[in-house]
Amino acid sequence: MLFKIAWRNIWRNRTRSLVVISAVAVGLFAGMFMMAFFQGAINQEIDSMVETQLSHIQFHNPAFNDDKEVNDTIVNGRAIINRLKKNPNVKAVSARLITTGMISSSSTASGVEIHGIIPDDEKSVSSISKDVIEGAYFTSGKKNEIVIGEKLAGKLGVKLHNKIVLTFQSKTGDLTAGSFRIGGIFKSRNSSFDEMMVFTRFDDLAVILGTSGEMHEIAVVLKDGQKTNAVAAGLKKQYPLLLVQTWIELSPQMALLSGIMDQMMYIIIGIILLALMFGIINTMLMAVLERQREFGMLMAIGMNKPRVFLMIVLESVMLTCAGIPAGILFTIVTVGSLAKHGIDLSAFSQALSQYGFSNFIYPVLKQSMFVPVSLMTAFTAVISAIYPAIKALRFKPAEAIQKI
Amino acid sequence: MGNIIESHHLSKTYNPDTIPVHAVNHVDLVVEEGEFTALVGPSGSGKTTLLNLIGGLDYPTAGQVKIEGVDITKMSENRLIDFRLKNIGFVFQAYNLIPVLTASENVEFVMLLQKTAKGEREKRAKELLIEVGLKDKLNKRPSELSGGQQQRVAVARALASKPRFILADEPTANLDSVSTENLLEIMAKLNKEDNMTFIFSTHDQRVIDKARRVVTLVDGKIVADTKK
């Protein structure tokens, strides 16, 4: 009957209760929407990094990561690629030559990372071919073709089909240079990437570097990205002399960001609930003070203090928890719709692209968040009830009964 | 018949350190089982305070209250709540029913606190409400009942816990004459047929006329004690 009394008491002041329930629902929606928004943004960023740069797994000469020396190539790279292509978990493999150097136009120069790629293989491993907005992705068949980012083109003051010069260190340690013609200009989500990366054919770069058939990097894309760690563990055993790294190991800051996002979001929801707590305390305090005579009567006829306390806690929990399903439902409907159509943030595209974020964010709602968020809300309700309940327990029956 | 309530030198003083107000002043009162006693006196004479002390709703400044020989003034608040639940029925001036419960649920509530089984609670609540003439109002909430009907529910609730006695603080103060007459008849009948002890404070001459003992208080002291 205590549940019945508590539930009916909530509806004695319908408007006041509905305001609290709405506040809880909107607060939860705000918190969960933020979680979904940032989770979506980070997932997209991770996907983007995996697609444009990292792939799921990379192979390097262990010494290459220290200074990116031209000489630190993978031995027997071709054989390894052939074996990887036969691995049932592997979707695509691509060999890369990587060096750093200067890119010079007639007016200026800039530091860049030069990737020598096999265009057909790279298509299956990265999304650069899809990001080309001018010209073409190595389709002319001409030698010494280069694809550069839109931002870099702007910085260098060059256009499609213009010539540029790449200067870098060859395998022999000599400074060497090559003239390339711009065959394509790409624009990815990440403007820093567009400014720093240039792509040439593997063979063209190999000739100038003097690396012949050697390679610096083997990029691997798996059929199922969720198996990255398991597959990488197998490959590490298989190739103990090579450095085999997952995207998480290659970009630990991204993995860390993804990992701490949940914790950050729970903190944000905690702050929202803390603010809500004062509203709930206020409502419960008003309800208790308004019913002083009733509490006096209840204690007079024999309702003991633990029961009075429990009744107030129940009222607070029921009042607060009534907002949980409303908040979750509203979040599911809203985020469900936005997950399909995306949130258009093109007004902030310049700022977003600097951090590699897309103009469209597709929020991702984790259903696993519903239970902890609901428990946090219920806990808030219990905490909110303590002060009003203590207040009620301090009433003296003889005095409280006389209250008007 | 044995003594059910005894007060010895019972006093209650408000503001003892500033301007002392002696609401109850050295009252010696003995109430026997089956009495139908009215506490009368002008406003501020200490009727309600004396009832509160006898009912264990308040602690005296001095003196003792013994219920069937048990000194309740030495009990902790929690023990007093339990003692009231098992031994004392209350009827208040302003009815004081639980507004969100029906008449039947209000009566059941006290039995719920006593941990009476559901079936027995429902049966007894129905019997009691029939006894006070509310057979067709079992499922009505207090807001759907008249003042007289609400006070009859309060009497049924007071009886529900099978108390040793019932304390009623000005039970007819908010009732019209017909409701007052009905309520008095019910209380008199319960007193006569079930030997239920009633002590009520009142200003109402009709209630005083029905009482078999009238205790008159002035300035917290008993100035007259008349048995009819």
CA atoms lying within 13 Å on the CB side of residue A163: 7
CA angle B17, B20, B25 (to 5 degrees): 125
DSSP 3-state assignment of A93? Answer: strand
Spatial distance between the Cα atoms of A34 and A343, rounded to a whole number of angstroms:
12
A305 at the B interface (CB within 8 A)? yes
CA angle A326, A330, A333 (to 5 degrees): 140
- To 10 degrees, what angle do helices A14-49 and A252-290 make? 180
Residues of B with CB under 8 A from a CB of A: 48, 52, 55, 57-58, 77-78, 81-82, 84-86, 90, 92, 94, 96, 98-101, 105, 108-110, 112-114, 157, 161
Tell me if B203 sits within 8 A of B40, measured CB to CB. yes
Task: Note whether B100 contacts A302, CB cutoff 8 Å.
Answer: no
User: In this predicted structure, what is the pLDDT of residue A263?
Assistant: 82
Listed in sequence order, the residues at least 6 apart from A103 whose beta carbon sits closer than 8 Å to its beta carbon are A109, A110, A111, A112, A148, A152, A156, A164, A165, A166, A198
Whole-angstrom CA distances from A139 to A19, A134, B110 are 64, 13, 89
- The count of CB pairs under 8 A between chains A and B is 70
First to last CA, chain A: 26
Question: Cα distance from A382 to chain B (closest Cα, Å)?
Answer: 22
Task: Note whether B78 contacts A305, CB cutoff 8 Å.
Answer: yes
Chain A residue closest in CA terms to B98: A294
Chain A residue closest in CA terms to B159: A301
B50 burial type by CB count under 10 A (0-12 exposed, 13-18 middle, 19+ buried): buried
Tell me if B89 sits within 8 A of B154, measured CB to CB. no
User: In this predicted structure, what is the pLDDT of residue A390?
Assistant: 93
Tell me if A265 sits within 8 A of A35, measured CB to CB. yes
Q: What is chain A's alpha carbon radius of gyration, rounded to the nearest angstrom? A: 31
Residues of B in contact with A396 (CB under 8 A): 57-58
Whole-angstrom CA distances from B88 to A24, A66, A260, A281, B81 are 43, 87, 61, 35, 10
Whole-angstrom CA distances from A322 to A1, A9, A23, A366, A377 are 19, 14, 11, 21, 10
A227 at the B interface (CB within 8 A)? no
Nearest Cβ partner for A5 among B48, B58, B101 = B101
Host H or E run for residue A280: helix A252-290
Nearest Cβ partner for B90 among A1, A294, A301 = A301
- Residue pLDDT, tens place only, A93-127: 999 999 999 999 988 999 999 999 999 999 888 88
User: In this predicted structure, what is the pLDDT of residue B104?
Assistant: 94
Spatial distance between the Cα atoms of B7 and A389, rounded to a whole number of angstroms:
34
Q: Identify any residues that bridge with B22 across adjacent strands, giving them in sequence order.
A: B13
Chain B residue closest in CA terms to A5: B100
What secondary structure letter does DSSP report for A367? Answer: G
What does the longest C-alpha to C-alpha distance in chain A come to? 100
Residue-level pLDDT, tens digit, chain B, 228 residues: 688 899 999 999 988 888 888 899 999 999 999 999 999 999 889 999 999 999 999 999 999 999 998 999 999 999 999 999 999 999 888 888 999 999 999 999 999 999 999 999 999 999 889 888 888 999 999 999 998 899 889 988 988 888 889 999 988 887 788 888 888 888 888 888 888 899 999 988 888 888 999 999 999 999 999 887
Question: Cα distance from B169 to chain A (closest Cα, Å)?
Answer: 11
Per DSSP bridges, beta strands A197-201 and A145-149 are antiparallel
Task: Note whether A397 contacts B78, CB cutoff 8 Å.
Answer: no
Nearest Cβ partner for A401 among B82, B96, B108 = B96
Count Cβ atoms below 10 Å from residue A313 Cβ, excluding itself.
20
- What is this structure's pTM? 0.72
Spatial distance between the Cα atoms of A15 and A231, rounded to a whole number of angstroms:
58
User: DSSP letters of A313-360?
Assistant: HHHHHHHHHTHHHHHHHHHHHHHHHHHHH-EE-GGGHHHHHHTT--SE
Whole-angstrom CA distances from B155 to A75, A108, A356, B116 are 98, 100, 76, 19
Spatial distance between the Cα atoms of A4 and A317, rounded to a whole number of angstroms:
13
First to last CA, chain B: 17
Q: Identify any residues that bridge with A92 across adjacent strands, giving them in sequence order.
A: A221
Long-range contacts of A177-180 (CB under 8 A, 24+ apart): A177/A208, A178/A144, A178/A204, A178/A208, A179/A144, A180/A144, A180/A145, A180/A146, A180/A204
User: In this predicted structure, what is the pLDDT of residue A356?
Assistant: 61
- Residue pLDDT, tens place only, A277-316: 998 899 889 989 989 999 999 999 999 999 999 999 999 8
User: DSSP letters of A193-229?
Assistant: HHHHEEEEEHHHHHHHHT-TT-BSEEEEEES-GGGHH
DSSP 3-state assignment of A293? Answer: helix
Only one residue has tokens 């350190």, namely B17
- Residue pLDDT, tens place only, A331-348: 999 988 888 888 887 777
Q: Identify any residues that bridge with B201 across adjacent strands, giving them in sequence order.
A: B39, B169
Chain B residue closest in CA terms to A7: B100
Mean pLDDT is lowest, of A178-187, A319-328, A356-365, for: A356-365
